Amino acid sequence: MLRTGNRDLIRRINQNLLLNLIRTQGPISRAELSKQTRLSPATVTYITQALLERGLIHEMGAGYSSGGRRPVLLRLEPKAGFVVGVKLAADSITAAVTDLDATVLHYLEISHTLADTPTPTLRALIRTIERALKESRVDRAKVLGIGVGMGGIVNKDEGVCRFSPILHWRDVQVAAPLREHFEIPVFLDNDVNTLTLAENWFGHGKDVEHFVVITVGRGIGMGIVTNGQFYRGAMGGAGEIGHLTVQPGGAQCDCGKQGCLEALASDPAVVRSIRESIHEGRKTELSERNLDLERIIKATERGDALARRALADSGHWLGIGIANVVNLLDPALVIVGGEGVRAGDWRFGPMRAALREHAFDGFADNLQVVIEFGGNETWARGAASLVLNEIFQHPISQRADTAMTLNF
C-alpha cells in the first residue's frame, strides 16, 4: 500500500511530466500526452483539467485528425506567472521581467559604481528590481522568483558569492537580502552558467547533448552541458576556463596568478597590450586616453595595424584555450558569446585557426562553432531561466528547502 507521501510525490511527478511536455512540445493533444507518458487517458484528463483550472495551460484550436473528432490542443499559459532575471556586472545592473516562456516583457539597465563594501550594491539590486517590476506592470502576486547571475565562484545552494575577482567580493550573501525584501524565492549562479542554461532551454544548445558556452568580455568564462546535464563540478566552480594557465610566467591576471587565458585574451588584455605598445613607441592612431575595445575595433576597421594585431593575438590565445576544452570534453557545439564578440572576425578568425591547429586529430572536424551576438538583456534573460528551471525541475531533483511549484 502506498503511503500518502508517496502518492503526493507520484502526483507531482506526473504533473511535472505533463506540464513539461506541454511546455516543450505544445500545442499537443491529450491523446499524444498519454501516448508519450504512458499514463492512462483518465489520468491525463484529470491532471490537465487541474492545470486548466489553475490557469497554467489553455486549450487552443483543434489539431489534425486521421479520422473521428479532431483533438483539442493544449499549450502552456505564459502569463500564468512571471520571473525576474538580473545580471550584476562591475559597472551596471540589468534586470529583465519575463513570462514563463522566457519572453522579455520589460528590460532595464542602470549604471552602477562599486563601493568598498557589497551593501550599497545589494541595495541597488533591490531598487533596480523594484523599478523593473513597477515599470513592467505585471501582477506582483504572480511573480514567482528572482534569478541573479554574476561573475565569480558561486555557491548556488546557499546563494553566496564565494569569490569574484571582478567585483572584489568574498563570501557575500546575495540571495538572502533579496529574499527577505521580496519574500519570494531567489536563486544565484555564475552568470555564464545562467547564459548556458538559457542556451539549453531555448537557444542553440536546445536538444544538444554535449556543448559549452564560452563568454569573452571583461573576463572569460564557460558553462558546460554534457550528456544533456548541466555540469557544475564538486564546488560549483566548473568552467573557469579564463584561469587556465596557457603561458606560464605570462601577464598578470586579476586572480593574482600569471599567464591565465583571461590575462591574454579578454577585452582588458587587448587594451593593456595596446597601452604597452604605445609606451614602447609603436605607431598607432590610438591614444591611451579613453582607450577601450570600441575605439580599438574602429581603429581596426580603419586599418590600424597595431589594433588588428592586438585583437588577432587575443583571438589566437582564445583559440588555444578552446582547443584545450575540446580536447578534454569533446563537445559537439561551442557557443561563444559576451561583450567581446563585437570584435568580429578580427578576433574570431585567428581564434578558429588556432582551434583547428591545436585540437586533437579529428575533434574539430565536425565541431560546430557559433558566435552569439547579444547584450546584457540576453544575460538577464539567462538569469530568469534560473527560476524557470527551478519551477519546471523534476520533483525528485528539487531540494526540499528550495522546491518551487506553480501552485499545484
Average pLDDT (364-375) is 88
User: Do 192 and 298 sit in the same domain of this protein?
Assistant: no
Domain of residue 316: give its range: 205-371
User: Do 250 and 334 sit in the same domain of this protein?
Assistant: yes
Q: Point out which residues pair with 29 in neighbouring strands.
A: 73
pLDDT on residue 67 = 55
Average pLDDT (315-333) is 96
User: Do 233 and 341 sit in the same domain of this protein?
Assistant: yes
Average pLDDT (18-33) is 88
Task: Give the three-state DSSP class for 177.
Answer: helix
Residue listed under C-alpha cell 550528456 = 227
Give alpha helix (H) positions in 302-373.
Answer: 305-329, 345-358
Q: Is the peptide bond before 71 cis (omega within 30 degrees of 0)?
A: no
What CATH number does residue 392 fall under?
3.30.420.40
Q: Write out pLDDT tens, residues 175-212.
A: 999 999 999 999 999 999 999 988 988 889 988 999 99
Marked catalytic residue, from 191, 254, 267, 304: 191
- CA-based Rg of the chain, rounded to a whole angstrom? 24
Angle at 333 between CA 75 and CA 376, to 5 degrees: 65
Structural domains counted in the chain: 3
The verdict on whether 267 is a catalytic residue reads no
User: Do 312 and 245 sit in the same domain of this protein?
Assistant: yes
User: Do 366 and 381 sit in the same domain of this protein?
Assistant: no
User: Do 87 and 126 sit in the same domain of this protein?
Assistant: yes
What CATH number does residue 61 fall under?
1.10.10.10
Task: Give the three-state DSSP class for 301.
Answer: helix
> CA nearest 214: which of 117, 323, 105?
323
For residues 155 and 173, what is the distance between their CA atoms, to the nearest angstrom? 10
User: Do 217 and 308 sit in the same domain of this protein?
Assistant: yes
Angle at 258 between CA 252 and CA 260, to 5 degrees: 100
Q: Which three cell numbers stand for residue 53?
A: 483550472
Assess whether pLDDT exceeds 50 at residue 110. yes
User: Do 216 and 356 sit in the same domain of this protein?
Assistant: yes
Q: Write out pLDDT tens, residues 240-263.
A: 999 999 999 999 998 889 999 999
pTM of the model: 0.83
**Chain-wide mean pLDDT for the chain?**
88
> Are the C-beta atoms of 344 and 160 separated by less than 8 Å?
no
Task: Centre a 10 Å sphere on the Cβ of residue 26 and count the other Cβ atoms it contains.
Answer: 18
